[in-house]
């Protein structure tokens, strides 16, 4: 079987090569994203595996893949909002994602950033850069005294709840599905209760029409002025301008963001200062804001699982079988 993988990272290559050798398939690795200009590279292959956040909704992509005899698109990531499932279905393409490759990887970075915010290390850094090594006004709370609100208690949200519970925090969650297996680690509540109660609000939902800008001026105003907001999911879940205003007006205490709504313009790329969006610059200048370049998933365990689960799904579907990760 011949498989082409788009947007391959250097860190993925050893795992791809090991999988190909073990399973006896030919895997071509390219660094390009799947676009109308690069879709022709898939001609002659049996399956396709992609990883990208840029939109992939041009009908020509789906039309050409189908004309090449390809039956699937494997997205080796959790989010799949960049794909058009209706077009995929129209052209007989089964789309799969990877709903869980290492939930702890993302949960752990969320915790890391939350702990840094709680201990006000950004403010300490700012003071120390100016020669001020005093502690006045910088007293912190301890994690076991806090209530953590998890919006979206799926694989990653569930792992997040377990970690915070292990540290002694009280965890509440909002999710339309109540998973009984998470009962020892969290208490389900409505969204309003979560927003008004939690000391840390961490979001782990997919980006859909229903969840876009779910964190907005109204929901930010519902949060405690002492609350911290953590987004390790998708930038489009947050109204960035509303978040900036909330931070500037001290409606919340701080934020940690692994993703921004306009991240496709610069995240995962090397850019010049004039190419960096104004919203990023405003947020980055705040001592109570932490930003990472959508790297929460980037651990050795996660990369290995991403590669293997994705390629296994390609083989499953090309072989005429059904994948548990099919989205359409």
pLDDT digits (tens, 9 = 90+) for 31-79: 999 999 999 999 999 999 999 888 899 999 999 999 999 999 999 988 8
In a domain? residue 236: yes
* Closest residue by Cα to residue 172 from 227, 216, 250: 227
DSSP assignment string, 183-226:
TTT-EE--HHHHHHH-SEEEE-----TTTTT-BSHHHHHHS-TT
Distance CA 229, CA 307 (A): 31
> In this structure, are 271 and 144 located in the same domain?
yes
- Total-model pTM: 0.86
Residues spanned by the domain of 203: 103-291
Q: Alpha helix (H) ranges present in 232-299?
A: 240-248, 278-284
Distance CA 139, CA 208 (A): 39
> In this structure, are 79 and 146 located in the same domain?
no
> In this structure, are 130 and 264 located in the same domain?
yes
> In this structure, are 261 and 308 located in the same domain?
no
> In this structure, are 156 and 264 located in the same domain?
yes
Least confident of 38-52, 128-142, 199-213, 270-284: 270-284
Q: Which of 81, 234, 251, 308 is catalytic?
A: 234
Instruction: Name the DSSP letter for residue 326.
Output: B
In a domain? residue 323: no
In a domain? residue 325: no
In a domain? residue 38: yes
In a domain? residue 326: no
Number of domains in the chain: 2
> In this structure, are 40 and 182 located in the same domain?
no
What phi, psi does 320 have (nearest 5°)? Answer: 85, 10
Q: Which of 76, 155, 204, 294 is catalytic?
A: 294
Give the pair of three-digit tokens for residue 125.
Answer: 């850094």
> In this structure, are 255 and 242 located in the same domain?
yes
Q: Which of 263, 268, 269, 308 is catalytic?
A: 263
In a domain? residue 80: yes
> In this structure, are 232 and 264 located in the same domain?
yes
> Residue 104: pLDDT band by 50, 70, 90 thresholds?
very high
Check pLDDT > 90 for residue 263.
no
Domain holding 42: CATH number?
A: 3.40.50.720
- Catalytic annotation on 294? yes
Query: What are the residues facing 264 on neighbouring strands?
Result: none
pLDDT digits (tens, 9 = 90+) for 134-176: 999 999 999 999 999 999 999 999 999 999 999 999 999 999 9
Distance CA 26, CA 265 (A): 33
Parallel, antiparallel, or unpaired for β 2-5 and 26-29? parallel
Instruction: Name the DSSP letter for residue 83.
Output: B
> In this structure, are 134 and 272 located in the same domain?
yes
> In this structure, are 126 and 275 located in the same domain?
yes
């Amino acid at each position: 079987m011949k498989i082409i993988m788009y947007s391959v990272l250097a860190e993925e290559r050893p795992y791809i090569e090991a999988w190909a050798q073990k399973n006896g398939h030919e895997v071509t690795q390219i660094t390009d994203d799947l676009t109308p200009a690069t879709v022709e590279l898939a001609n002659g292959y049996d399956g396709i595996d992609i990883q990208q956040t840029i939109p992939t909704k041009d009908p020509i992509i789906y039309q050409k893949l189908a004309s090449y005899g390809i039956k699937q698109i494997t997205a080796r990531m959790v989010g799949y909002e960049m794909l058009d499932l209706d077009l995929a279905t129209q052209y007989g393409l089964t789309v799969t994602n990877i709903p869980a490759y290492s939930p702890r990887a993302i949960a752990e970075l969320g915790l890391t950033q939350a702990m840094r915010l709680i201990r006000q290390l950004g403010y300490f850094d700012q003071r120390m850069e100016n020669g001020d090594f005093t502690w006045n006004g910088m007293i912190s709370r301890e994690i076991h005294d806090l209530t953590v609100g998890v919006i979206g208690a799926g694989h990653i949200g569930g792992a997040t709840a377990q970690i915070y519970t292990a540290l002694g925090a009280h965890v509440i969650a909002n999710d339309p599905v109540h998973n009984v297996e998470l009962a020892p680690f969290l208490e389900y509540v409505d969204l309003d209760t979560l927003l008004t109660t939690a000391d840390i609000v961490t979001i782990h939902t997919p980006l859909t029409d229903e969840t876009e800008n779910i964190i907005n001026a109204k929901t930010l105003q519902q949060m405690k002025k002492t609350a911290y907001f953590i987004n390790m999911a998708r930038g489009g879940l947050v109204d960035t301008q509303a978040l900036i205003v909330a931070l500037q007006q001290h409606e919340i205490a701080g934020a940690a963001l692994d993703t921004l709504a306009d991240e496709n313009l610069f995240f995962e790329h090397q850019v010049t200062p004039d190419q960096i969006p104004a919203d990023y610059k405003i947020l980055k200048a705040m001592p109570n804001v932490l930003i990472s370049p959508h790297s929460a998933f980037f651990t050795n365990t996660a990369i290995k699982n991403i590669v293997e689960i994705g390629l296994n799904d390609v083989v499953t579907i090309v072989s005429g079988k059904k994948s548990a990760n099919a989205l359409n």
